[in-house]
Amino acid sequence: MIAYIEGNHFGNPRTDTLKFMREIVMCTTCRFTPAEKTGPDGRTGGEILIGHMRDAIAARGADVKVQTQVCLWNCKRHCSVVLRDDERFTYFTGDHEPSREQADAILDWFAAHGETETGEVPFRLWPDRMRGHFIARIPPVKA
Ligand code: FES
């Protein structure tokens, strides 16, 4: 059994010796735009959004794990991002533009999620940029 200790506002343990209980899963192959697979620098939209996410996390000094995945089977609603938590609701999201502003909005929402008991974030706390991006919520595995 894994024991969790008091987390920061992202809900992650404060020590590297324990397993992360939360993470952001991001698609590497999502398109840049509906018409273009890659942007001007040759990266996919997913790769660009992942880059912005890593920069946003570093700028905050946040303790957030990013996992990357080739295709999350949500290709028409690119870019795709899963906000995963093994003790609270997990959320599948899409239609994210590959921008720093969007990465910051995802992180803001994930921080609010980390403050909740169940993973249900009051709508009034949602960043505007996160509205309309939620596709499904998945409950945690019950013991
Ligand atoms: S390419 Fe990103 S979900 Fe399929």
Q: What is the pLDDT of residues 82-129, one digit of tens each?
A: 999 999 999 999 999 999 999 999 999 999 999 999 999 999 999 999
Residue pLDDT, tens place only, 45-77: 999 999 999 999 999 999 999 999 999 999 999
- The pTM of the full predicted model, rounded to 2 decimals, is 0.86
- How far, in Å, is the centroid of ligand 1 from the Cα of 104? 21
Q: What is the CA radius of gyration of the chain?
A: 15
Q: Is 105 helix (H, G, I), strand (E, B) or coil?
A: helix
Q: Are 97 and 79 in contact, with CB atoms under 8 Å apart?
A: yes
Query: pLDDT for 9-51, tens place per residue?
Result: 455 544 444 455 899 999 999 999 999 999 999 999 999 999 9
pLDDT band at residue 2, thresholds of 50, 70 and 90? very low
Atom of ligand 1 nearest to the CA of 71: 4
Q: For the chain, which domains are there?
A: 22-138 (3.40.30)
In order, the DSSP letters of 49-72 are: HHHHHHHHHHHHT----EEEES--
Q: Residue 142's pLDDT is what?
A: 82
Question: What is the 130 CA–ligand 1 centroid distance (Å)?
Answer: 19
Cβ < 6 A, ligand 1 pocket:
27, 29-30, 46, 71-75, 78, 80
State in Å: Cα 73 to ligand 1 middle.
Answer: 5
d(CA 72, ligand 1 centre) in Å: 5
User: How high is the pLDDT of residue 8?
Assistant: 46
The pLDDT assigned to 10 comes to 54
Residue nearest (by alpha carbon) to ligand 1 atom 2 = 30
User: If 0-12 CB within 10 Å is exposed, 13-18 middle and 19+ buried, where does residue 82 land?
Assistant: buried
Q: Which residue has the higher pLDDT, 3 or 70?
A: 70
